[in-house]
Structure 1
Amino acid sequence: MSPAALTSSISRVAVTLLSTTTLLSVTTAQQSTYPATPLVSKHYAYPTGIPYQVDTDTQLIRGGQSGYNQCNSTTEGQTSLCQTSFLNHLDDFCLWAPMKPNSTIADTEGEEVAWCTKPGRGTRLIPPGALQGVQYMKTPAYVQVVGFIDQTFINIQAGDYGGELDPHGADLRGNPLGGLVYSTGFDTDNSYTQVMEWHNFMGGNQFCFKACDPANPDASKFCQHVYDRIGCAYNAPNDAQNGTFEACVGENQDFPGIYTENGVVMTYSQPPESLGVISTLPYQPKVPASSSCTSYTSSLLYSALASSSATPTGSSASGSGNGPARVTGSAASGSGASAGASATGATSGAEALRVGLVSGALGLLFAVVFLS
């Protein structure tokens, strides 16, 4: 073999080895980032089929799950690390929020715990006075709650405009890692359905939490997780009112990011974080029509909170990290009952505000670094 041919052969071998090494590096990187089974594909019957922890992929980049999913009377209280959540009705729902006081959503997205309006499921409880207005909406494709809250009561830093929690995340392990959601909103017998597609925006003293019916073929479209920078007004269009607590029946919204312009259906693409704050959008979301709205007195809706040990969390413990007594089949099932407080019929003239993570002072949509 001539010197030139030998040199060429060696070069080809070197390129092959380099390509193989690169491929192995990429494969190794992928293995260290993604779980064998994404969170959105993990199914567990409530309450008997839930493991102690859903996310056991401790070798991956973000480490292990910070809380637990098997929750019961031994875990209930303001230091609970329960990460099993519910969205059933106006008087019976949970929100994802931090373990420790004065936290931001962006810094704790993978560690949020369930804060609920009813005792009995082993979670933390939303303190009395925190909820300042809530609208529950049931549609053919999803159930949702949107509303107003003093977020410091559930450990979110004052002034934090927050972001989105969902069962995906950049590494498919969810935010929070291993977070489960169940609802009685899809069956007439109040049985629990695991919700595979959901999103919960928290921040700016506002929230929206939508759980999409897993039987609906468009569940992932109604509960999109790629519009994490444009908040509730675009992901869950609503007519929630500060000071009003009401349950309604509604029509389905347009899929988040989908709108019609001059008769043409358009899709909005959220710009990357590197381009800065989103100051304008090409469309205004259409608020779905609603009917059969009934208003309630908040003190009657959430009477169980007043008699519980729930307190404002500015001085609460941050959570001991201790899990529940490990039992099978005895986790509290909750009542699954719909809002039962007597209706007030009036909204007390509360100012109507469409909940969205929007800065009134700056007139800008807040953009936060948040895994979608």
Structure 2
Amino acid sequence: MSRYALSTLLLAAATTVLAQDTATPLASKHFAYPSGIPYQADPDQGVRGSQFGYNKCNATTENQDSLCQTSFLNALDDFCLWAPSKPNSLIADTEGEEVAWCTKPGRGTRLIPAGALQGVQFMRTPDYIQVVGFIDQTKINIANGDSGGELDPHGADLRGNPLGGLVYSNGFPSNNGNNNTFQQVIEWHNFMGGNQFCFKACDPAGPHAADFCQHIYDRIGCAYNAPNAAQTGVFESCQGENQDFPGVYTSNGQVVTYQQPPESLGVISTIPYQPRVPASSNCVPFDSAKLFASLGTVTPTTSSAAPTTSSTGAKTTGSSSGSGTASRSSAGAGASQTSNSAATFGGRSGPESGAVAGIVTGMFGVMFAMAFLA
């Protein structure tokens, strides 16, 4: 058999496997909270294997070894971040396995250790809510110096990063202020790394949820995907205008869409525009000690041992609001991404070209992997 014929055959085989993975994309799976949530949102064995943790989380799973993969974004004092289960991990190596780390007990997850959060801005806009800030990432198992990457409900195989990761919120208008009712967020993205984070949840009822929560700009970080004015040492809740869609900007009166170059071309050295930071108002500052009082006794993970789980998800071994204004005096989280470091957050491996490509490369060689991704 010729090399061309063999590569064609392998390409067809891999495409078939990928098609099996994408039969029901994660973003197309809807589960009512809490009664409709299954033990795992992605129980199937695909190219990347099976789901690492579980989604049915409760008091029996709430501890610092939890493998809960159901996350929340509600308010300044009530949100979660995706991060590794084991200490000293790299986001690029664990993006399919991240677990939820939250600021409030009662979610069945791990809690963000005391002192980890070093400045947070919560923003409510007409089409999305987001939380952006600064963090000692080593306290949530991200290796020191890791520039990180993007987590979202898509990925190359549409199974999401993490696989089966679900996000819920009570922060949208359709909740009518009912804090006990949670909607599943279909479109979201969470950048982690460089001791910074941004997590945006787009209103499921909004007409442009997929546009505001784009997932194709995984190499250019928070400054471009979630422009903000977060400041170190400041904890505030704000109202704001919508940002421009990530990757979309105006130049000389013309609306332009930026095309992120593939990783094969190397580090992104220049970006042709600076994102517009949306105007904010009614920013109310809070005392972080009071805001996250429930985290006072939570300490960083000291063991890398992973718990085993039962069919119920149990480990078998042992809102902020108000009025007022605050001035903006910082360019915000992610703003340090200059032309020489624009690839921060995911330059090593992005959700759209990561684990699946790696598996294909390992099985069939670099040449086939390039054809597969073309």
Q: Give the TM-score taking structure 2 as reference length.
A: 0.85
- The aligned residue for residue 247 of structure 1 is 237
Q: Which runs of 4+ in 1 moved over 4 A?
A: 21-27, 357-364
Contact 1:141 1:219 in 2 (8 A): yes
| CA shift digits 1:141-162 (9 cap, x unpaired) | 0000000000000000000000
Match of 2:255 among 259, 265, 272: 265
* Other-structure match for 1:311: 299
| Cα deviation, residue 217, structure 1 | 1.3
From 186, 191, 196, the equivalent of 1:201 is 191
- Within 5 Å, give how 1:1-372 maps onto structure 2: 26-33=11-18, 34-58=21-45, 60-186=46-172, 187-188=175-176, 189-190=178-179, 191-307=181-297, 310-313=298-301, 315-323=302-310, 325=312, 338-339=319-320, 352-356=330-334, 358=336, 363-366=341-344, 367-372=347-352
Residue identity matched to 1:179: G
Change (3 A) 1:319 1:214: same
Q: For the residues of structure 2 that align with 1:364 and 1:211, how far apart are their CA atoms?
A: 23
- Give ranges in structure 1 of 5+ residues lacking alignment: 1-13, 328-337
AA of the residue aligned to 2:295: L
Residue 25 of structure 1: CA displacement?
Answer: 5.4
SS at match of 1:40: helix
- Distance in 2 of aligned mates of 1:316 and 1:262: 55
Query: How far did residue 316 of structure 1 move?
Result: 2.9
Instruction: Give the root-mean-square deviation of aligned CA atoms.
Output: 2.5
Distance 2:238 2:311 in 1: 36
What one-letter code is carried by the residue in structure 2 that aligns with 1:370?
G
SS in 1 for 2:55: coil
Does the aligned pair in 2 maintain the 1:358–1:365 contact within 8 Å?
Answer: no
- How many residues are treated as equivalent by the alignment? 339
Distance 1:326-1:127 versus aligned 2 partners, 3 A rule = closer
Matching residue's letter, 2:252: N
- Map Cα deviations across residues 156-214 of structure 1 (whole Å, 9 max, x no partner): 00000001000001110000000000000112223211000000000000000000001
Alpha-carbon spacing, 1:353–1:153, altered in 2? closer, same or farther (3 Å): farther
Per-residue deviation, residues 214-267 of structure 1 (Å, max 9, x unmatched)? 111110000000000000000000000000000000110000000001110000
CA distance in 2, matches of 1:364, 1:325: 43
| Matched-pair contact (CA < 8 Å) for 1:70–1:324 | no
Does the C-alpha gap of structure 1 residues 139 and 219 become closer, same or farther in structure 2, counting only changes over 3 Å? same
Instruction: Tell whether the 8 Å contact from 2:151 to 2:162 is kept in structure 1 after alignment.
Output: yes
Length-normalised TM-score, structure 1: 0.85
SS in 2 for 1:74: helix
Q: Distance in 2 between matches of 1:317 and 1:26?
A: 38
- CA distance in 1: counterparts of 2:248 and 2:75, whole angstroms: 27
CA deviation string 1:113-147 (max 9, x = no partner):
00000011110000000000000000010000000
Cα offset, 1:23, TM superposition: 7.9
**SS of residue matched to 1:300:** helix
Quick check: 1:137–1:145 contact (8 Å CA) kept in 2? yes
One-letter code of the match for 2:330? A
Structure 1's 24 and 48: CA in aligned 2 closer, same or farther, altered over 3 A?
Answer: farther
Which runs of 5 or more residues in structure 2 are unaligned? Answer: 353-374
Amino acid at match of 2:351: L
Amino acid at match of 1:32: V
Secondary structure of the residue aligned to 1:110 is coil
